Amino acid sequence: MRAVIINADDFGASKSINNAIIKAYREGVLTSASLMVNGEAFEDAVEQARNNPNLSVGIHLVLVQGRSTKIPDEIPGLVNADGNFPDNAVLAGFRFFFFKSLRVQIENELRTQMQKFTSTKLKLSHINSHLNIHMHPSVLDIVLKLADEFGVKNLRLTKDYLFINLKLDRSALIYKFSHFLIFGILTKIYRKRLLKHGFRFTDVVYGLLQSGDMNETYVSGLLNNLNEGISEIYFHPDSLPSKDWYGKPANYKFLEEFHTLLSQKIKKIVKKNSIRLVDYTFLKPNKAQLLCQLP
């Protein structure tokens, strides 16, 4: 059986993103969204999620390219005086690794983000993060601790397949090779540990190597080459890509990704290949393998 979670990140970043996500859920193939609790349209996202209770919603943790939940004086090592995280994820990652004193601040900030989500009374489906910062070695332990604390067992273990990506798109080779190598190593290290402690994740996550350019042609190729098991494909849709929001990547093709999620061609491929559209609530552990829980 082939099943796929179609997820949209940055829910709550702007009203136009929220509108795109809801439209893609109601009229397209979207099944899941990840809420950025410090986005400027957080309240609007919560309201829209409540109006669409079958939309699976998780949390999109932020430690880079975004704003903090706590005031700057409480986490001075993580943000500037305005409460903004650094834009450079690589430099932030080095600081997280070498300055162990920051880990208390990271835990305090992420716990506050989790608390803000739970205060909405929405069901917390899964955990992932902006730029996949939760996969950082100094951050993952904190995320897993908080996941246990808040009773969440589903998270994104970011593993993308380089071969299929290059078969469909040969752009940005340096980026793709470096990210495939880094996240491939991290996934191999984390996988057994996560399974041992009952965490659930998909077999593969598509979106890392093609981030911001999940166009119709590429996604069609993914779906036509989808392996058995359960996969996640994540997107960054927006109905008004000219709208600025803090942390917005300049090179992402938001509107094209939105159109991909609404594409009739994509719907036909899903139906033709008997692909099940599911969300993270369908995952369950089964020894070394995670299977889709059938209703």
Contact (Cβ atoms closer than 8 angstroms) between residue 276 and residue 2: yes
The structure tokens 């829910």 sit at: 11
Find the distance separating the first CA and the last CA of the chain, reported in whole Å.
Answer: 14
Q: At what angle do helices 42-51 and 15-27 cross, to 10 degrees?
A: 20
DSSP secondary structure code for residue 28 in this structure: S
Q: What CATH number is associated with residue 213?
A: 3.20.20.370
**CA neighbor of 182 nearest in space, from 214, 208, 147, 211:** 208
- Provide the residue range defining the domain that includes 82: 2-292
Q: Is residue 277 classed as helix, strand or coil in its secondary structure? A: strand
What's the number of CA atoms in the CB half-sphere (13 Å) around residue 91?
A: 7
Q: Which H helix or E strand runs over 283? A: strand 283-286
- CA–CA dist 275, 287 (Å, integer): 24
pLDDT tens for the chain, 295 residues: list them. 999 999 999 999 999 999 999 999 999 999 999 999 999 999 999 999 999 999 999 999 999 999 999 999 999 999 999 999 999 999 999 999 999 999 999 999 999 999 999 999 999 999 999 999 999 999 999 999 999 999 999 999 999 999 999 999 999 999 999 999 999 999 999 999 999 999 999 999 999 999 999 999 999 999 999 999 999 999 999 999 777 888 888 899 999 999 999 999 999 999 999 999 999 999 976 544 444 333 4
Q: Domains in the chain: how many in total?
A: 1
**SS3 label, residue 105:** helix
Q: Please check whether residue 212 is in contact with residue 252, taking contact to mean a CB–CB distance below 8 angstroms.
A: yes
Question: Would the CA dihedral through 247, 250, 256, 257 be positive or negative?
Answer: negative
Q: Whole-model pTM?
A: 0.94
How many Cα atoms within 13 Å fall on the side-chain side of residue 125? 22
